Amino acid sequence: MKFLILFVGFLSVTAFADEFSREALVNADYKQGRVTFQQRCSACHTLAEGGSSLVGPNLYGVFGDKPGQQESFGYSDAMKSVDFEWTAASIGKFIADPEGLVPGTRMMIPEGVPEADRVAIVAFMMLETGAADWPRPVLEEDVLPEGASIAEKHPSFWNHMMQFKMKFMLKQKQFLKSSMYN
Ligand code: HEC
């Protein structure tokens, strides 16, 4: 009887502690995660396979890896010497307080990611780095008509894109040239 009580107690504690349960990740808000990543991480990190490293390393395949594994990136000694695995929960901890999880890390962020955004950003990162075993949600921009502009089709690139419009005359006709630079 004692054993049964202990067992039930253990189950409810883990259910509470697991902020990053698979269910929470699958149901997370993709757009909230994407915006949070763009605002807080994209200046220093890319997520796509083969993406370049910026101030921080490209993060494709990071889930399941130990910290500091990309050979081409110059990590801090601190990052290379810690020994744990990047999971949804450990990345959640790291972005809440990088220095708290990896003392001496060179990753400097002005403030930790607020709790309310953490599950969404981690779920978004899993989807974009090949770690999620659930499908990416279908968003309105994925079903825009053929003629939609690049900016409408790829709003996630918009903050890095410049638009340039030019009007010119050629053989009595007026042309409008519109270019996008990323
Ligand atoms: C100012 C630039 C900068 C920003 C902003 C930044 N990072 Fe980093 N990040 C780094 C650097 C530099 C490292 C390597 C740290 C080291 O070697 O100690 C790193 C390392 C990491 C790692 C470990 C990678 C590995 O290969 O072990 C993860 C995961 C990570 N960052 C996620 C994030 C997330 C998520 C955000 C946004 C919430 C973020 N970073 C924001 C610069 C940044």
What are the domain boundaries of the chain? Answer: 2-136
Lowest mean pLDDT among 74-88, 128-142, 160-174: 160-174
User: Which of the two residues, 15 and 7, has the higher pLDDT score?
Assistant: 7
Q: Which amino acid residue places its CA nearest to atom 26 of ligand 1?
A: 68
- Chain centroid, CA 156 distance in Å: 12
Residues with Cβ within 8 Å of 150's Cβ and at least 6 positions away in sequence, in order, are: 157, 161, 180
Report pLDDT for 36.
Answer: 97
Judge if the beta carbon of residue 113 lies within 6 A of ligand 1.
yes
Give tens-digit pLDDT for 115-152.
Answer: 999 999 999 999 999 999 999 988 877 777 777 776 66
Q: Which two tokens stand for residue 145?
A: 């008509």
Residue 176 — pLDDT band, cuts 50, 70, 90?
Answer: confident
Report pLDDT for 38.
Answer: 96
Correct CATH for 2-136 of 1.20.120.1200, 3.40.640.10, 1.10.760.10, 2.40.50.140: 1.10.760.10
Contacts for 130-139: CB closer than 8 Å, 24+ residues apart: 130/49, 130/60, 130/61, 131/61, 131/62, 131/63, 131/64, 132/25, 134/25, 134/26, 136/30, 137/30, 139/30, 139/31
Judge if the beta carbon of residue 44 lies within 6 A of ligand 1.
yes
User: Which of the two residues, 140 and 26, has the higher pLDDT score?
Assistant: 26
Overall average pLDDT of the 73-80 stretch: 98
- Can you give the pTM of this predicted structure? 0.77
Give tens-digit pLDDT for 29-70.
Answer: 999 999 999 999 999 999 999 999 999 999 999 999 999 999
Output the CA 43–ligand 1 centroid distance in Å. 10
